[in-house]
């Protein structure tokens, strides 16, 4: 038995009397990372949103966290560690879980480096350190390689169109901002101090993006937008046929696959660059 004290992203001290073996991951990106570092044998429950990999839902108990968190189901699983992200849970629910004597580790994701940092943290917590460090190192390397390759390329204006009604794009505080920048583009939402701000059609015309990315679960977003505002048909991205469908999870869920999204994005923006990655 080893007793470990760790400090989570909310600054709270967490005492783990032994290596956790009954872990509850209540955020889809954390579940994904646990599988990526080979820690799934220690998982015992996931939330209904944890749909990748698919076996996460079949091999673990699935817990409802929305619209209300099923506290009873969580406690009856008798977990020895609960992993959550700060943005998915209200502080009262986290407080209640802590009061019931279960260690709750809160993770925060605000920039790309938080992903690799938290992969290393998970490796320590779940005793899968070697694999976690290897994964995190290789993901960090993808970042630095891409940054190096794209730094002298033309920075095309890019829009990530989340939704068409209301018109929402990725803003300054989203991960996508950082991804577009690394991939050698310029996010047109970079001046908007939010994650996913609402914008007007005029804004799109003024910024005139060279590329418009639409998430796969909302492919028709741009064509619907054009049918409402026909003028948008003359945006550069539309004229150049640069309306590109991307897989939503690769851009909207901070996890290992975010870096696949980064590689894909780089290939989209700069087809001429050769990258040492096969995707």
Partner 1 sequence: MKSRDLGIGLAVAGGITLIFFFSLSVGSHESGTGLLVNWLTNTSLPGETTILSLRASRMLMAFLTGASLSVAGIFMQALLRNPLADPYVLGLSSGAGLGANLLLTGFYAVGSTFWFALPLAAFAGSLLSALPVGWASIKYRDSGGYPVLLTGMALSSLFTAFSGLLIYLYAENDSLRAVIFWTLGSFNKSSWEGVSIAAVMAILITLYGLRVSRQLDILLLGTPSAHALGVPIHRIRTNILIICALCIGSITAFTGPVGFIGLVIPHFCRSLVGISHRKTLILAPFFGGAYLASCDLLNRMILPPAGLPIGIITALFGIPFFIYLLWKEKARQL
**Which positions lie near partner 1, rule CB under 8 A?**
64, 67-73, 75-76, 78, 86-93, 95-96, 99-101, 173, 194-195
Residue with Cβ nearer partner 1 (88 or 180): 88
Residue with Cβ nearer partner 1 (74 or 235): 74
CB of 168 to partner 1, least distance (A): 12
CB of 225 to partner 1, least distance (A): 22
CB of 8 to partner 1, least distance (A): 14
Q: Are 19 and 128 contacting, i.e. CB atoms less than 8 angstroms apart?
A: no
Give the span between the Cα atoms of 159 and 176, in whole angstroms: 10
Tokens of 90: 């209200």
Residue with Cβ nearer partner 1 (70 or 140): 70
Residue with Cβ nearer partner 1 (76 or 220): 76
CB of 10 to partner 1, least distance (A): 9
CB of 79 to partner 1, least distance (A): 10
Strand bridging mode 211-215 / 61-63 = unpaired
User: In Å, what is the CA distance from 60 to each residue of 40, 146, 233?
Assistant: 9, 36, 47
CB of 73 to partner 1, least distance (A): 5
Residue with Cβ nearer partner 1 (14 or 73): 73
Q: Are 161 and 225 contacting, i.e. CB atoms less than 8 angstroms apart?
A: yes
Residue with Cβ nearer partner 1 (66 or 233): 66
Beta bridge partners of 167: 164
User: In Å, what is the CA distance from 20 to each residue of 16, 74, 75?
Assistant: 7, 15, 15
CB of 99 to partner 1, least distance (A): 7
Region label for 116, one of left (φ > 0), alpha (ψ between -120 and 50) or beta (otherwise): alpha
CB of 92 to partner 1, least distance (A): 4
Residue with Cβ nearer partner 1 (44 or 195): 195
Residue with Cβ nearer partner 1 (92 or 278): 92
Tokens of 234: 């003359």
Q: Are 263 and 271 contacting, i.e. CB atoms less than 8 angstroms apart?
A: no
């Amino acid at each position: 038995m080893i007793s470990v004290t760790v400090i989570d992203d909310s600054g709270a001290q967490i005492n783990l009397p032994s290596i956790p073996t009954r872990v509850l991951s209540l955020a889809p990106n954390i579940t994904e990372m646990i599988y990526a570092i080979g820690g799934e044998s220690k998982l015992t429950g996931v939330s209904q949103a944890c749909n990748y990999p698919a076996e996460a839902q079949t091999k673990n108990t699935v817990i409802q966290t929305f619209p209300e968190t099923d506290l009873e189901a969580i406690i009856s699983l008798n977990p020895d560690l609960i992993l959550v992200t700060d943005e998915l849970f209200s502080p009262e629910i986290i407080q209640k879980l802590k009061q019931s004597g279960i260690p709750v580790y809160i993770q925060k994701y605000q920039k790309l480096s938080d992903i690799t940092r938290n992969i290393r943290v998970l490796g320590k917590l779940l005793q899968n350190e070697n694999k976690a460090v290897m994964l995190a190192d290789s993901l960090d390397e993808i970042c630095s390689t891409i940054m190096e390759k794209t730094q002298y390329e033309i920075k095309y204006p890019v829009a990530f169109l989340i939704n068409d009604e209301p018109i929402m794009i990725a803003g300054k505080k989203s991960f996508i901002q950082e991804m577009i920048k690394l991939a050698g583009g310029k996010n047109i939402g970079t001046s908007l101090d939010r994650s996913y701000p609402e914008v007007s059609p005029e804004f799109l015309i003024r910024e005139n993006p060279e590329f418009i990315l639409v998430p796969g679960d909302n492919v028709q977003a741009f064509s619907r937008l054009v049918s409402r505002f026909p003028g948008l048909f003359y945006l550069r991205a539309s004229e150049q046929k640069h309306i590109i469908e991307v897989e939503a999870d690769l851009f909207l869920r901070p996890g290992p696959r975010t870096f696949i999204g980064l590689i894909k994005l780089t290939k989209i923006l700069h087809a001429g660059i050769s990258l040492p990655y096969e995707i």
